[in-house]
Structure 1
Amino acid sequence: MIHKYTCQNGVRVVLEKMPYVRSVAIGIYVKAGSVNETEAEWGLSHFIEHMLFKGTSTRSAKMIAEQFDRMGGDLNAYTAKEMTCFYTTVLDYHAEQAIDILSDMLFHSNFDEVEIEKEKSVILEEIASIEDTPDDDVDERLWTQMYADHPIGKSIGGTAETIGSFDRNSIKNFMERHYTPDKIVISIAGNYDDRLLKRIESLFGSTDAHQKQNNSNEAVRIPNFHSGITSKRKEIEQAHISIGYPGLSIKDEKLHDLILLDSIVGGTMSSRLFQEIREDKGLAYTVFSYYSSYTSIGSFVIYAGTNPENVDKMMESIDRIVMDTQRDGVTEEELSNAKEQLKGSFILGLESSEAIMHRNGRNELILGEHKSVREVVELIDRVNLADVGKMAYEMFRKDRAVSIIAP
């Protein structure tokens, strides 16, 4: 059962007790990601994620790493388009020490200028590694094409120009605007006790760090989807292709229709794309579809990598599968299989404290609500053939965006 608690300054805490495990997973979610950045700040939320590991007024970066190593836990973080998360999983009797260190990182990081300059080089190497990975690069270029006039289409890492401009002041200014109590959620799952909640209140409930009043009247600009083609030449062995269609927001009541359609079209090994393009025709080693859903928009994406000589054949196969799905919908057997696969992966994916912590943290931060496993299963079972057929018809009849990287 999920319990919710709000600290006196507005920081939200969501907890799920798991007395049958020895772990406690802790996540600090901040509703600040690449969508919150101005042009000059492109990549800053990701940069801040890195800098919070670089030492505080009482702990060096090495001390932070050593303390988590001594606890036998792992410390990690990620930046997404709409959030940043700092998280760890430790043994239950180390939970209070872990939350102490996380709060120290969040509120008392030094942002030393020497460390800032060093981390710029690290992130530039990270960006270079993406550019050297064509299947990642082609996807980022697709999102830039689909949402060219909005931050949600930008890569999370930023550019060499923007990264080079970051300093202590730019970090502080961004955090004062976005790392505010109303945008912070602490998610706990595992074998915690009541002392941990008291510790969270003392650490997070009265702090004045990063607490400029958030402007709740800030205008929210809805991204516009742009069709078209973006291409890039690169000395590689394969051609990489990503095809994007406008999808659904994470709050859309028809989202499970899309999730099931994704499973049938390309989300599993039994999907239409995988069976025809890889198994039947041998045109690709990797071919799949995925959906991404955010607060105001979403996208459905098909990816495939193939020998440049087979690009036309592969595109013909993809187009035919898309057209057949749009025209004829899906079969009862496909829908039944997709439902069971989705329910199985959803339930099995919640068997660790870390997985439950992440689910609860994201739900609280973005949705502000928590559906039970039973409620989610009921939503999946409620989808019928007509629902999925209508979803396929409406989505695939729209103009698409295409990203290609080829030799």
Structure 2
Amino acid sequence: MIQKKICQNGVRIIHEKMPYVRSLAIGLFVKAGSIDETEKEWGLSHFIEHMLFKGTATRSAKMIAEQFDRIGGDINAYTSKEMTCYYATVLDHHAEEALTILADMFFNSSFNGADIQKEKSVILDEIASVEDTPDDDVDERLWSVMYPQHTIGRSIGGIKETIDSFDKEMIEKYISKHYTVENTVISIAGNYDDELIGFIENLFNSFIRKGSSDSIEATRPVFHNGRISKSKDIEQAHICIGYPGLTLTDDRLHDLILLDSIVGGTMSSRMFQKIREEKGLAYSVFSYYSSYMSTGSFVIYGGSGPEHLEEMVNTMDSIIRDIMADGVTEKELHNAKEQLKGSFLLGLESSESRMHRNGKNELILLEHKTIDEVVDLIDKVEMDNVNSIARETFARERAISVIAPKKAVKRIRF
């Protein structure tokens, strides 16, 4: 059962016992992501994520790594458009030591000037690695087309011009504004006793930083149709096609999730079976949905030989037209429901997956549906619901991003 403890200072602790495991997963979730950045701060959320691993007043970066290795634990972090998460998984009897290190990183990171300069180089290399990976690059460029006038359309990593400008003052100012009590959730899942909750409260009881009422996200993102292409000396052509999606709080979200499974989210989906298995036009073809508090998108990706690009896209369009005209079948909907329930339930087998689910739900949604409630929502989706969201989604104008060899880009007429 998921339990919630609100500390005296307002910090929320979400915890779920799994007494049959020997692990404990710990997450520090902060409601600060790329969507919260000003133009000059572009990439700063991600930069700070990196910097928290670079040492504190009492621990060097090497010491942090060695201490987690010594207790056989894993520590990592990620930044998304809406939040940043620092997390660790350890054996249950090492819980207090892991929490102490995470709290030290959270409160006492030194942001040494030399480390800041070195990390700029590391992050620029990370950005370059995305640009060297066209299936990632084509997706990031799609978001810049779909939401060109909003921070949600920006890449999380930032750009060289802003990264070069980051310094200790900017980092501490951003942390002061966004790393606040109301923006922070501590999530744990696994094998622990009730005394650990008190230990966490004592670690964070001096955390009193309050946020201001102003927000960078003053306007709702507006989806734009459009095209963007990039010529590159590569063997494959890559394309992403984006449509407006749904927000995290939309009652029809499970309709869209099941549509995604039928369109391109699984190996039995129409895109995979038609484009890869039947026609052999692509090795990788799939769809996915992304949902946030303020907007969402439905995206179709395909990577093919340049000579097959146009036929692949024509086939994608044909599949979409068929779904809009004739809808999905009972068999497809049944299989999609079973696949989604299986994926959801199997994904909760580990302490880490439960910790992430609970932390995100508390930080972003402020609610926790039970497993049975989620399964019931999936089972209650009817064919008319899925067909309705398909017609609504695919009837809208779309955004397209292409990365391909120069000759292929010149031939594109989408």
Q: TM-score, normalised by structure 2?
A: 0.97
Post-superposition offset of 1:216: 5.7
Aligned residues of 1:57 and 1:108 also touching (Cα < 8 A): yes
Partner Cα separation in structure 2 for residue 126 and residue 218 of structure 1: 26
**Residues 70-90 of structure 1: per-residue CA shift (max 9 Å, x gap):** 110000000000000000000
Q: Which runs of 5 or more residues in structure 1 are unaligned?
A: none
Aligned equivalent of 2:272: 274
Matched, 1:87 2:87: yes
Shift, 1:206, TM fit: 2.4
State the secondary structure of the residue aligned to 1:165. Answer: coil
Shift of 1:8: 1.2
The residue matched to 1:363 in structure 2 has which SS? Answer: helix
Matches within 5 A, 1:312-391: 312-391=310-389
User: How do 1:113-128 residues align onto structure 2 when only pairs under 5 Å count?
Assistant: 113-128=113-128
Q: Note the C-alpha offset of 1:220.
A: 3.1
Note closer, same or farther for the CA distance 1:217–1:88 as it changes in structure 2 (3 Å cut).
closer
Which residue number in structure 2 is paired with residue 307 of structure 1?
Answer: 305
Q: Distance in 1 between matches of 2:216 and 2:64?
A: 36
2:282 partner SS: coil
Q: Is the 8 A contact 1:187 1:357 kept in 2?
A: yes
Residue 204 of structure 1: how far off its partner (Å): 1.1
Contact 1:10 1:205 in 2 (8 A): no
C-alpha separation between the residues in 2 aligned to 1:15 and 1:186?
8
Q: In the alignment, what sits opposite 1:296?
A: 294
Q: Deviations over 1:25-83 (max 9, x none)?
A: 00000000000000000000000000000000010100000000011000000000000
Distance 2:369 2:217 in 1: 29
1:142 pairs with 2:167: no
Distance 1:326 1:57 in 2: 60
Deviations, residues 186-228 of structure 1 (Å, cap 9, x unaligned): 00000011221111111112224xx243316776310010101
Query: C-alpha deviations, 1:202-258, integer Å up to 9, x for none?
Result: 1112224xx243316776310010101000000000000000000000111100000
Deviation at 1:5, TM superposition (A): 0.5
2:249 aligned with 1:251, yes or no? Answer: yes
Are residues 217 and 273 of structure 1, via their aligned partners in 2, closer, same or farther at CA, if it must alter by over 3 Å?
Answer: closer
Please report the RMSD computed on the Cα atoms of aligned residues, expressed in angstroms: 0.9
Aligned length: 405
Tell me, what secondary structure is at the counterpart of 2:164? helix
| Aligned-partner Cα distance in 2 for 1:98–1:104 | 10
Q: Residues of 2 paired with 1:153 and 1:170: CA distance?
A: 22
Contact 1:240 1:404 in 2 (8 A): yes
List aligned pairs for 1:65-214, cutoff 5 A: 65-208=65-208, 211-214=209-212
Gaps of 5+ in 2: 406-414
Q: Judging changes above 3 Å, is the alpha-carbon distance between structure 1 residues 218 and 144 closer, same or farther for their aligned structure 2 residues?
A: closer
> What CA distance in whole angstroms lies between the structure 1 residues aligned with 2:211 and 2:395?
44
Aligned-residue sequence identity (percent) comes to: 67
**Native 8 Å contact 2:181 2:211 kept in 1:** no
CA distance in 2, matches of 1:279, 1:49: 41
